[in-house]
Amino acid sequence: MIDLGTRLARGEVIVLDGGSLRFPAYACGAATVKPGLSWVPAFNPSAKAERGMLSQVMSVQGAICREVRDVRLAMRSLVAYDPHDPWQVPMPFEGPALDRPIRVAFTKNTFEFDLHPAVEHALALARSALESAGYRVEEVEPPLLREAAALGARCLMSDALALTGPDVRKYGSATVNRIFDEYFRQFPPFEGVDYLKAMADRSRFVRAWAVFLAEYPLVLTPFLPRPIFTWNRDEEGAEGVREVLGSAIYSYAMNFMGLPAGIAQAHLADGQPVGVQIVGRRFREDLILDACEAVEARVGVMAERLWAKV
């Protein structure tokens, strides 16, 4: 069986669904963009039931590739109208040109989690690369980020408990059940009307970010506060779950709000790739890819650097 890293190094494109694009790209030194809600059509004809509302809002399809230009090529093929997806909004792949220099908001805030020096260095390299490419990077805090992540995580667990919980209990191993128990403890699911209120409150975060992105079309952020965790970290009790899911604030906040976000590799620390995240306006994945490509042009194709060490 050929592992993911080998396939990426060979330049193969791997298509995933459910939003799980940035974690494997971050771990393997690859490039990706998580599309925003409605950009890429999704339809599973074998599904026995429709997904929960939050899963419909958060789940997207995209591509992981060795370098950004291949992500762009793959995404051009994926952005095509499909009447089976009631969420899709037919949009062109590229939007109108923006006034230059494009403003980029920059934050390295990891809230209650310590920022690893390797991630801090990757962010500094990415910022320098963008500035050299003509972007105007300004250190400024995006709105309501931590609050959106906290609410999104609890809403996600509400869906998981209600819709997949019985199957997890029935078919999941003892290890999987322990992990889910810890998920539900750290991110308590909402009950009854509280879930409806939380989902209604989602609009407040989406609106705040839409206004922010009108001023700053791109946002440079960490993806995780440290390089990727070990493969079985979430099996290691409360601290493991906290590191795997709890610290992924910049991941599930963007999923919850339906915003597009890309991974650009910026640093190689002790043989391990360290990426950054670039968030953009809805339907402007092209701007995200442009910025990711600017970073890649400065640091090189990380998958090639990793493959050279094998």
Checking if the pLDDT of 15 tops 50, the result is no
Q: How many CB atoms lie within 10 A of CB 25?
A: 32
Within 8 A by CB and 6+ apart from 150, the residues are none
Would you state the pLDDT for residue 51?
83
| Residue 49, pLDDT above cutoff 70 | yes
Residue 11: pLDDT above 80? no
Domains of the chain and CATH, by start: 4-143+204-308 (3.90.1300.10)
Q: Could you give the CA distance from residue 224 to residue 61 in angstroms, rounded to a whole number?
A: 21
> What's residue 304's pLDDT?
78
Whether the CB-CB separation of 204 and 258 falls below 8 Å is answered with: no
Q: How many CB atoms lie within 10 A of CB 230?
A: 11
pLDDT for 145 = 97
Mean pLDDT of the chain: 91
Residues 130-146, mean pLDDT to the nearest whole number: 98
pLDDT exceeds 90 at position 36: yes
Contact residues for 22 (Cβ-Cβ < 8 A; gap 6+): 32, 34, 223, 251, 261, 263, 277
Please give the helix or strand (H or E) that residue 55 lies within, else none.
helix 53-58
Sorting pLDDT into bands at 50, 70 and 90, what band is 297?
Answer: very high
Residue that wins the pLDDT comparison between 55 and 237: 237
Where does 120-228 show beta strands of DSSP type E? 136-139, 218-221
Q: What is the pLDDT of residue 42?
A: 85
pLDDT for the residue 14 = 37
Q: How far is CA 108 from CA 24, 77, 111, 122, in A?
A: 21, 34, 9, 10
Bigger pLDDT: 158 vs 15 = 158
Q: Given pLDDT bands bounded at 50, 70 and 90, which one contains residue 13?
A: very low
- Looking at residue 69, its pLDDT comes to 97
CB 279 within 8 A of CB 259: yes
